[in-house]
Amino acid sequence: MLRNLLRSFETVLRLQATTNTAPIACSKRLLFTQYELDPRARARKSLFPAATATTNAFPGGHEVDNEYVPYRLEQETGSRASVLAEAIRERFRFTDAELQRIMSDELVLRSYRGRSLIATMDTLIMEGVSRRSFIEYPWLISLDNKRLELKLQLIKSMDMRDINHFVPFLRLTVPRLRKLVSALNSERSSMPQGNRIYYISEKLQVSPEIVTKYLSKRLFILEMPYEMFEKNLQHMIDYNVSPINVLKDLWAFRYTPKSVQLRLERAKRAKKDKIMPWMVRCPEPILQRSLKLSLDELQVLGKFSTVVEYLAHRLGFGVSEAKAIMDRHPQVHTVRVTKIKEVLDYLLDEAQFTRHEIAQVPRVLCHSLKTTKERFDELKSHGCRPSSLVILCRSRREYDKFLRHWISQAIDPPNISDQ
């Protein structure tokens, strides 16, 4: 019996030897593709994770349809930062600053070693995400590829004109995005624009990309009752609230349309030159103070319409000259006209400075009037009348140094030059 077993084993070995006559190199290649390639025609290594499979160069130049895509390790484990940066640069000709903005994003830095960000980027590019969107939202390439496909399917279920209009919503979780898309699609039949994104864009005359940039942080706007939302938006438009200010401060939409209209009307009657959404939601004392300041400014300006005209009148210069004086210290443009009046009244009437001395140091109009008075009185008590207003505007350390120097001189000239 043992002899028969040995003979059977030898027979099996002979049969296996006769069948394995094909070249070893060919059998290894056949594990991945059914076509053998010329070893000299190996493709150059590419940085694209979803690179096309190596193809057979047939006489007609046609590509084999059933070629397999070779497995790439970086599709699962991520890649080095230099490889990722080069791949990004190949797809979009980013400048160094733009590339640095993407690579320095917190989410990108956190995930590029353990996840294929190149594969995610290629998926987004195939869906039509633009170069500008990658710069604006660098976290896009850090999204999980499997969840990304689900999110893209949800977004495409809406009346979408361009995927870039809804890119900010890709940061939401899948359940949250599904709820949002359901709410938007429920209004599809009753809204000619298709959804609230395009409705707001049309009403405010702002591109959809800017609308979603701000609404993605305040999703309640897209889910609140339509009638309340529509009336509040119309109130903002009727009272000439700037569209970008509306989008930046959406909390005012949480208030009832009647209270929104009442607040805006009060601001209009106070002749506020710039009505802001915060006036709708601020506490009553703050609104009253803001309206009082506006009325005081109108009273100071009188027949003049701008601060430049008022300053030109007070200093006796032309409007163009007064603007040049203010431009020397641009912060003057932000000072309330009521404060400018108080400073000019003191310097011209009490301290007896000339208009030319004030014009040489426009910074004094921004300086604290209380500090200006204290320093001038202190210098005057030591017999010093500065020939320039510069020392009144210097830091505390520089002012004290000047005062000590003056006292140590033990002289009492009528004027001293500011050094």
Q: What does the pLDDT look like over 168-209, one tens digit per residue?
A: 999 899 999 999 999 888 888 787 788 889 999 999 999 999
Residue 268 predicted with pLDDT over 60: yes
In this prediction, residue 52 carries a pLDDT of: 39
Average pLDDT estimate for 234-254 = 93
CA pair distance 29, 9, nearest whole angstrom: 30
Q: Which residue has the tokens 């970086």?
A: 74
Q: How confident is the model at residue 272 (pLDDT cuts 50, 70, 90)?
A: confident
Q: How many C-alpha atoms does 53 have within 13 Å on its Cβ side?
A: 16
pLDDT of residue 412: 52
**pLDDT digit string, tens, across residues 42-79:** 433 333 344 333 444 444 444 444 455 554 444 444 45
CA distance 121 to 78: 12
pLDDT of residue 140: 86
- pLDDT of 317: 87
Whether residue 20 is predicted with pLDDT greater than 80 in this model: the reply is: no
Most confident segment among 87-91, 206-210, 359-363 = 206-210
Element at 25 (helix H, strand E):
helix 24-29
Strands (E), 93-209: none
pLDDT at 88 over 50: yes
Q: Examine the pLDDT at 336 and tell me if it is beyond 70.
A: yes
Q: Give first-to-last CA distance, the chain, whole Å.
A: 120
42: three-class secondary structure by DSSP: coil
- Residue-wise pLDDT for 227-240, tens only, equals 999 999 999 999 99
Q: How many helices (H) and strands (E) does the chain have?
A: 25, 0
Token digits for 352?
A: 């007896």
Is the pLDDT assigned to residue 84 strictly greater than 50? yes
Task: Report the percentage of the chain scoring pLDDT > 70.
Answer: 78
Cβ atoms of residues 317 and 354 within 8 Å: no
